[in-house]
Chain A
């Protein structure tokens, strides 16, 4: 046991309030070789105040999911079915004008490279003031400026940097400004897509510390899209693991790391070098992620799975509960539930009664 051991803290999470519900979402890309199924009938709920880690390797569809929520799937891709229930409204029914009001203002996105989101010929103060004015169009210039200054101080950048242009800031500072913009906009959801990937390890740690503080302070809801399992362990309340366009497993962070049920999750966790371990045998997962133009039949993980059975070739396993089911604990979804899509675990509720989540 370590000195650093802590129990994950879900205190900020409102386990009753689903802020975004993704229902049966599919995204396909039209390619020369056929239709690529990037996301296949995926359902996932995001609760108010939680950090949901969305983990997967390249091609798993994790970034596509982030973009799909914003309805920003680039052509030739498109959302072929499903619903995105945000504040009791289906975003899929919105027209472009309505979506423009959602993007950035209600759901903010932070990308790996902040320079793609910041306007290079606008000073930082103009960015922030514009963001503040989205909600308070009549705010005076002085008031907006003084709020920008305190925001910059809170972000640990310093107010004198307000007069600078994006290229004059370091990578870490730019990512802080991105968070600041989301705060100024009072975004309901922040989607962070590999937001720390280009940062150095110490700067990344500083950024994660800031994010954790701000999350508690402002009750932020964050969808943390990353391939870095260490970052998920550090910041997430819950984790969703994606494989080949489907969810392999969803659980609270402690459960996922210490009691993983899906063979892919198990393999993934064991193939990451852990600096805190004295000695380690890295697990070598066979094969490579599948070609999604012709995905494997049944469970998409079956060609790489060490526990593969006959049924895995034939039928797709549903995402079902794999934890102990208590009395009157049957409703669909639910924050504390541990879900996995694997034939090894379908017997928990009997394969025939298996409930889709």
Chain B
């Protein structure tokens, strides 16, 4: 076991106590009467993590957990309410609009819906290569066409030159998502935010896209911030993973450690809830009660306590910090009974996670 988790030189992206609050629109009556307190959605509430160069870092959670907002904060698409976002030793918060725009070249994004990401009136080549022109990275149309066609071939749109003049509506959904991946790649980025990049694809296409992303990541030494709600997909692609709940990271660690030895009860429940494509497995009970509460008035203490099967009084009042799991460097969890001062009260794991391999 090695040292602490201080910032190493390999860190490409670091978020430090990042918060993002969105104001809630007051209703008409409140606006006219000028009454009612301004409320905020605590979308991201004090998130810290680091991504190592060349690794795939997963952000996993249910809808409303703040994973997408965190991703957008990480690549400077949103400005944090509080906290620091540091990309390669550059503090994004201090940058002017123009400086940030220049940085964006190195931080590319792949979203879920390729049709929403590609301009239907631009040919694929022009749309995918648009960034090259914006950032003046090519000198001639010939060079432009060459660069874009080359990337098309990398993502499996072959022959690349033939795809250059086609339009988004003329190709299949899987091919469109390849084009979106190409658009990110063509900028030669250092970091790619992939926000549910394969969620819309069909099962057989999903596998192909996922595999393509793994291949490209290795070939170009890319770093991914990979956002997904699908824990099986995360297991396939991620090196490290952070589990989010109501705007907070409640567990983070290497994918294997977290999946085989989850510490937070929410992580346990999440892992146990994933349907296994094998009828001989039966999901273990119990599931936690209820659903994720809204983020305007998050529960006191531990935000998971109203749903937690092992919650005790302490959980209602005291907010658990994200602390290292004893004896497991790099594995952190925010649960009173699994890390920190109340560890002696641990009632033991909720669910036996010892899921064996399918033979």
Least CB distance from A280 to B in Å reads 7
Least CB distance from B82 to A in Å reads 28
Count residues of A near B (Cβ-Cβ below 8 Å). Answer: 51
Task: Give the complex CA separation of A130 and B291 in angstroms.
Answer: 28
Task: Determine if B275 and A288 form an interchain contact, defined as CB atoms under 8 angstroms apart.
Answer: no
- 0/1 per residue, A235-274, Cβ < 8 Å to B? 0100000000000000001100110000000011101111
Task: Determine if A230 and B275 form an interchain contact, defined as CB atoms under 8 angstroms apart.
Answer: yes
Q: Provided the pairs A4-B355, A231-B275 are in contact, do residues A205 and B208 lie with their beta carbons within 8 angstroms?
A: no
Interface residues of chain A, those whose CB is within 8 Å of chain B, are 1-8, 57-58, 170, 172, 200-206, 208-209, 227-231, 233-234, 236, 253-254, 257-258, 267-269, 271-278, 280, 282-285, 288-289
Least CB distance from B274 to A in Å reads 5
- The reply to whether the CB of B137 lies closer than 8 angstroms to some CB of chain A is no
Residue of A nearest to B288 (CB): A202
Task: Determine if B211 and A200 form an interchain contact, defined as CB atoms under 8 angstroms apart.
Answer: no
Task: Give the complex CA separation of A5 and B274 in angstroms.
Answer: 16
- The reply to whether the CB of B210 lies closer than 8 angstroms to some CB of chain A is yes
- 0/1 per residue, B215-237, Cβ < 8 Å to A? 00000000000000111110110
Q: What size tier do the contact residues of chain B reach?
A: 35 or more
Task: Give the complex CA separation of A19 and B292 in angstroms.
Answer: 39
Task: Give the complex CA separation of A282 and B213 in angstroms.
Answer: 13
Task: Determine if B269 and A57 form an interchain contact, defined as CB atoms under 8 angstroms apart.
Answer: no
Least CB distance from B320 to A in Å reads 20
26 cross-chain CB contacts under 8 A: A1-B356, A3-B356, A4-B282, A8-B280, A170-B291, A172-B291, A201-B230, A202-B273, A202-B288, A205-B273, A228-B275, A229-B277, A234-B283, A257-B277, A269-B277, A271-B204, A271-B206, A272-B232, A273-B233, A274-B278, A275-B274, A276-B281, A276-B358, A277-B358, A280-B236, A282-B210
Given contacts A275-B259, A276-B358, A282-B236, could you give 12 more A-B pairs where the C-beta distance is less than 8 Å? A201-B62, A227-B202, A231-B275, A233-B281, A236-B279, A257-B280, A272-B277, A273-B230, A274-B276, A276-B278, A276-B356, A276-B357
Least CB distance from A2 to B in Å reads 4
Residue of A nearest to B208 (CB): A284
Task: Determine if B279 and A233 form an interchain contact, defined as CB atoms under 8 angstroms apart.
Answer: yes
- 0/1 per residue, B61-86, Cβ < 8 Å to A? 01100000000000000000000000
Task: Give the complex CA separation of A259 and B160 in angstroms.
Answer: 40
- The reply to whether the CB of B271 lies closer than 8 angstroms to some CB of chain A is yes
Task: Give the complex CA separation of A3 and B272 in angstroms.
Answer: 13
Q: What chain A residues lie within 8 Å of B284 (beta carbons)? A: 4
Task: Determine if B211 and A284 form an interchain contact, defined as CB atoms under 8 angstroms apart.
Answer: yes
Closest 9 CB pairs of A and B: A230-B275, A271-B207, A205-B273, A200-B62, A273-B232, A57-B202, A285-B204, A275-B232, A2-B356
